[in-house]
Chain A
Amino acid sequence: MSGFLELAISGLMSGLVIGLAALALTLVFGVARFANAATGDFMTCGAYAALLGFGATGSMVVGGAVGLAAGALVGMVSYLLVFRTLEGRPSVSALLASIGIGFVIRAVLGVVYGHGQQVFQLPLVRPWRVYDLRIQPNDLKIGITALVALLVVFLVLHATPIGRRMRAVADDPMLARVSGIAPRQVMLALWALSGAVAALAGVLLGIKTVVSPEMGWEMLIPVFAAAVLGGIGHPVGAILAGVLLGVLQEIATPYVGFTYKLALAFVILLAVLLVRPKGLFGRVEGVR
């Protein structure tokens, strides 16, 4: 039983990371109406920037902040340089452009840092024993960080003027414009937010695993799965779907086999989409 619970905790941690990345993906989708395939590479940028900040100061908090800032910056720059000019074109152009941006990011990181792995040199600690359960202090920190980040994102979306404008643009861009909402400012804020959330997912993933130029790109499939499962364009759905996929994968794989881990995620996805074609939380309009 304790083994089962430990697996669930481990799945929860993986799920939160995937859910955060799915949130970044779904935020852009809700407003800009395309799947940003560079989301994974925004994650990687965040992780490398955090490594830089962490290396310079020795503080993970500062490192994380540098990572978030870099993610926001990369998000805004790619909007200003690429996605702004593609507004009004079919969404497939933006999707293709985002794949291209991902290539550029990976190539630049590969040239600058090489393709070898890097790690956050954090002290490794033995687990706490709570009854028969092993709990990793690091897991707890990762979990709390992810939850705080979620809270901040929802506060931004629902309790700030810019968040209200974002939701207005998501609902009906024309109506928002008629109501006097400047789309450029909203889009910049959106890309900054999405970039920062992706970067946070990248930093957490980097702490759990290793940092390499391909790390984010390789996570893209589970991230897409979570975003679709949650109902694309739905922030809460993305997170919950990420956690659901993570936990179900972890607790089921000892029984069905580890090679089918990713396949299992897609079986769940298929099953849910058969019953609810819009995803768990999706509505026809997407985000509100």
Chain B
Amino acid sequence: MTLSRRQTLAALAGSVLLPALSRTAGAQTAAFRIGALNPITGAGAPYGSGMQKMIVAAAAMVNDAGGAGGRTLEVSSEDTQTQPQAAVLAAKKLIEVNKVQAILGTWASGVSLAVAPLTNDAGILLMNTSGAPALSVPPANAKGLLYRFQATNDRFGRAFAEVATKQGFKRPATMAFNNASGIGNTEGFRKAWEAKGGKVVENVVYEPNQPSYRAELQKVLAAKPDVIVMGSYLADTTIILREWFQTGETTKFIIPAWAANPDLVKALGPEVTEGLISVDSISNEGSDAFKAFDAAYQKAMGQPGLSNVYAAMTWDMVVVLALAMEAAGPNADVAAISAKLREVAGPGGKAVSTFAEGKAALKTGKIDYQGASSILDFDQYGDVTPDFSVSVVEKGKIERKYIVKL
């Protein structure tokens, strides 16, 4: 290996500057470090960049408002690649090298479940946007340090049951991808549907990466359902719907929006997808907090805030965290901050929509942050209940029809 003079100079300059940089970082003892751990690449890539930019933007907003609890926020960013292995490595780096005290914005249940043991061991917060019911309870949430800003799969299932009732379906069947999220959806649906006195005519759980799902479909269709409720992802939904269409049956489908999205319509064409019902959790649209988020999102991404529900969640994560820090007072540790999280977001205080507003109101009494992603009332498990939108595919377009509140 030969080094040019320029490379040598650059290397020398680097080695001189690095300690200087870390000195300045060390000098800011009044900083609270947070890790933005988002799906920049992989299946979550359409959302990840926006999520990360909103964490950075919200942190800057908090710092501009004078910081929280006497401290400023310092963000370190990493990519999960939407893969548990990569996410674990990145989380390790954030915890051990960057010394973060909270990790924000993990997406996909497999990723959040993989990162949770690390944050629990380190005694730091993990705020996620995943759906798996397992994230509500121990071992994942053994220390109560997990906060979820997305609807649980169980709540998705309840929303599905509301939709099925509203559409007048009588004989639902379910098909679930064999993982915590897929089964969470259909089990949530089954419980809610049976609580309404209904009966689910068939439940099938299928394995990923099959060359064909015809046997599974045949079993479901044999029960003569009028609607099939899915707990599925994009690839398997594509294959199943293609094979379903080729059987000539005319069953309806209720599908979570992360599977029934424009990519699905593009892959299958308007004829196959006509009439599919797509259910998604939605932001707290129309709220003042959403307006603030929307403005920041437009500025950072050049797109409307409506296009990324997960970015609204990561925005809220920073705001809620900062409000809890403010409420907990100077130099509060993670446990003290966590103890304040429900208080600043839950009901029973002055409704506020921004960090600055909340910081001012905290001086006189309790507050209730009404978030951009939902009204953000954490239950005992650290879960929230957003609203759901119901859309129907018509002539190759996904048209929103109505909103379901649980």
Contacts and interface: CB of A to CB of B under 8 A. Distances in A.
Given A259-B178, A261-B210, A117 B215 contact: no
Looking at B205, B215, B238, the one whose CB has the most chain A CB atoms below 10 A away is: B215
B211 A6 contact: no
A119 B238 contact: yes
A124 B246 contact: yes
Interface in B229-250: 234-235, 238-239, 242, 245-248
A240 to B, nearest CB: 17
A89 interface: no
A13 B215 CA distance: 12
B247 A134 contact: yes
Contact of B269 (A17, A124, A259): A124
B107 to A, nearest CB: 14
Nearest to B204: A258
B148 to A, nearest CB: 25
Interface stretch (B4-12, B41-49, B134-142, B394-402): B41-49
Interface residues of B, number: 36
A250 B219 CA distance: 11
Nearest to B83: A115
Looking at B209, B214, B239, B246, the one whose CB has the most chain A CB atoms below 10 A away is: B214
A99 to B, nearest CB: 16
B246 A127 contact: yes
A209 B218 contact: no
Contacts of A261: 207, 210
B85 to A, nearest CB: 13
B357 interface: no
B248 A258 contact: no
Contacts of B239: 208-210
Given A115-B43, A115-B45, A261-B207, A10 B212 contact: yes
A103 B205 CA distance: 30
A13 B178 contact: no
A17 B209 CA distance: 13
Contacts of B43: 115-116
A10 to B, nearest CB: 4
A134 B246 CA distance: 9
Interface in A254-269: 254, 258-259, 261-262
A172 interface: no
Contacts of A250: 212, 214-215
Contacts of A254: 215, 218-219
B207 A121 contact: no
B221 to A, nearest CB: 10
A3 B210 CA distance: 19
A62 B178 CA distance: 37
A97 interface: no
B27 interface: no
A13 B272 CA distance: 22
B248 A208 contact: no
B206 interface: yes
Given A115-B42, A124-B245, A212 B207 contact: no
Contacts of A212: 235
B118 to A, nearest CB: 24
A29 B104 CA distance: 48
Contact of A253 (B82, B215, B248, B263): B215
Nearest to A137: B246
B195 interface: no
A52 to B, nearest CB: 17
Given A121-B269, A124-B271, A210-B238, A7 B207 contact: no
A6 B45 contact: no
A209 B235 contact: yes
Contact of A210 (B206, B207, B215, B235): B235
Nearest to B234: A117
Contacts of A205: 211
A7 B246 contact: no
Interface string A124-148: 1111000000101010000000000
Contacts of A134: 247-248
B248 A126 contact: yes
B216 interface: yes
B267 interface: yes
Contact of A7 (B45, B206, B218, B263): B218
B1 interface: no
A130 B123 CA distance: 65
Contact of B215 (A7, A138, A215, A262): A7
9 contacts: A6-B218, A114-B45, A126-B245, A126-B246, A205-B211, A208-B239, A212-B235, A258-B206, A262-B207
Task: Sort A-B residue pairs by CB-CB distance and give the 7 closest, nearest first.
Answer: A10-B214, A14-B211, A218-B209, A119-B267, A250-B215, A209-B239, A210-B235
Interface of A: 3, 6-7, 10-11, 13-14, 17-18, 114-117, 119, 121, 124-127, 134, 136, 138, 205, 208-210, 212, 215, 218-219, 246, 250-251, 253-254, 258-259, 261-262
